[in-house]
Structures are given as structure tokens and as C-alpha cells.
Amino acid sequence: MDFNNLDANSIKDLLKNLRLYRDLTKKLWYRWKRIFDKIKNWKSYYLVEYFPSINEDFVSTKALEIYKKVFGITPNREEIIFMAKESILWWIKVYMDDNVVDLSFAKIEKKLKK
């Protein structure tokens, strides 16, 4: 990128984005990329964590139902990141950006231990 050919508005935008990048990396560590992408592209982050023994096709259909009922959106299956985790304990957790719907037994187990 040749900075000599940029006009004043482009340089201001570039500086603003660099400051945002710096602030996000300092404060949010590994989450900065998701937040930066959402701010710049208005693209939400979808993640589904599930217990490994559950079929991923079943998980995807249930996750799409949850996204529609809880968040009122219908993302494409390709937009959702599916992650198998042993700690989920027999069901799923559905994330949209910083919002989460916890449908795992881990939540119940924690309450029973109290």
C-alpha cells in the first residue's frame, strides 16, 4: 500500500481502524478478530458446541431450530462453526456473538453441586 497516494479521509479511516485493532487486541485477546469482523462487515459469529457422540447432522438441525426460536434468525449451515467438546455433557451450547443458549447437562450439574 502506497501511503503517499492516499487522501486525508482515507488516512483518517486507516488510522481509525488501526486504533480499533490495537484496542481490541489489547482488551479482548483471542476474541478481537470476531469483534473486528462484526464491526467492519456486520457479520455475526455462530458457534455450536456439542457432545462428540451426538451426530453432527442432528446437532445442526437442532441448532438451526434454536437460532430461529431464540434469536429469530436463520443462518446457513456453512456459517455455523461446529465444535465437539467432551465438557458439554450430552447436549449442545449455541452461541451467537456474545449470546449463548446452554442446553447441556453441565449447567444442571453445576447447580446440583451448589
Note the pLDDT of residue 114: 65
Average pLDDT over residues 65-83: 90
Domains of the chain by residue range: 3-40, 44-113
77 versus 41: which is more confidently predicted? 77
10-14, 68-72, 81-85, 105-109: least confident range: 105-109
Do residues 85 and 74 make contact, with C-beta atoms less than 8 angstroms apart? no
Spell out where 1-114 has E strands.
46-50, 80-84, 92-96, 99-102
Per-residue pLDDT band for 86 (boundaries 50, 70, 90) equals confident
